[in-house]
Amino acid sequence: MLNPEHILVPFSCSPLPPGPWLVFAPHADDETFGMGGSLLRAKKEGLETHVIVLTDGALGGEREGLVELRQREVQQAAELLGLSGLQCWSEPDRGLEQSHDLPEKIAAAITDMLPASVFFPGPLEIHPDHRAAGIAVWSALQRVYRSNLQSNIKPEAISYEIGVQNPINFLIDTTREIEAKQAVMAVYASQNSENNYPELVLALDKGRTLSLPPEVGYAEGFFRYAEQDLQITLQEMIHHIINLYQ
């Protein structure tokens, strides 16, 4: 017998995960497109939020000085989102998969910042950097869990959607934040000129209300992983999730 709908998608919204938050974004804009509404809610609720942008974003267009422009855009977005901290690393755009020391660097950041919740792109994203970022953060969290058994540093592992629907097990109501999220998305003019990203993001957030009460106009979807999930690879975890659809 196939699993019913409520096994695959939530039918109510959840409160925000505990803070501080540490969000890993493959590119400048992914933090906003993916979970900008939730970051705005965290700002309202007084949660400490930090974002680390992993790549330099050099391949996000043809214009000159794009890396510096995208850094200025994400700094402006950070102010609107009320971030407590922003770091821009310089991993090569579309090159995260080849960065062998990235998990160790991410693990060091987690250990240093001690977040209660760590966010990373969902495993079924289309862009290879999105998927590579998720794998790297997953590996880093495994290292953190193993090396901090005594001190019990075990932040929640949570994936978020950026460009497409991924498996989710909780939703955050962003109806009241949607106008402010649109304003932050507009900051990324360099990327919005490449595609109609804000329109696509709004469609994704609207689509996530399918199983929710009618008063919820927009929502962002996330998957919270259990501690025992981190005992296997993210690739193996994907198969466990897909089996829920059988």
Q: Write out pLDDT tens, residues 31-73.
A: 999 999 999 999 999 999 999 999 999 999 988 999 999 999 9
- Tell me how far apart the terminal alpha carbons of the chain are, to the nearest angstrom: 8
Domain membership of residue 200 (yes or no) is yes
Residue 152 confidence (pLDDT) above 90: no
- pLDDT given at position 246: 86
Distance, in Å, from the CA atom of 127 to the CA atom of 165, rounded to the nearest integer, reads: 13
Domain membership of residue 139 (yes or no) is yes
Domain membership of residue 10 (yes or no) is no
Number of domains in the chain: 1
Domain membership of residue 9 (yes or no) is no
pTM of the predicted structure, to 2 decimals: 0.97
Here the CATH number for the domain that contains residue 165 is: 3.40.50.10320
What mean pLDDT do residues 224-245 have?
96
User: Are 42 and 49 in contact, with CB atoms under 8 Å apart?
Assistant: yes
Domain membership of residue 215 (yes or no) is yes
Distance, in Å, from the CA atom of 215 to the CA atom of 48, rounded to the nearest integer, reads: 28
Which tokens sit at 188? 């990324």
Q: Write out pLDDT tens, residues 122-134.
A: 999 999 999 999 9
Structural domain including 236 reads 18-245
Q: In whole angstroms, how large is the CA radius of gyration of the chain?
A: 17
- Higher local confidence (pLDDT), 117 or 152: 117
Residue 149 confidence (pLDDT) above 70: no
Query: What percent of the chain clears pLDDT 70, i.e. is strictly above it?
Result: 99
Domain membership of residue 93 (yes or no) is yes
Domain membership of residue 100 (yes or no) is yes
Domain membership of residue 2 (yes or no) is no
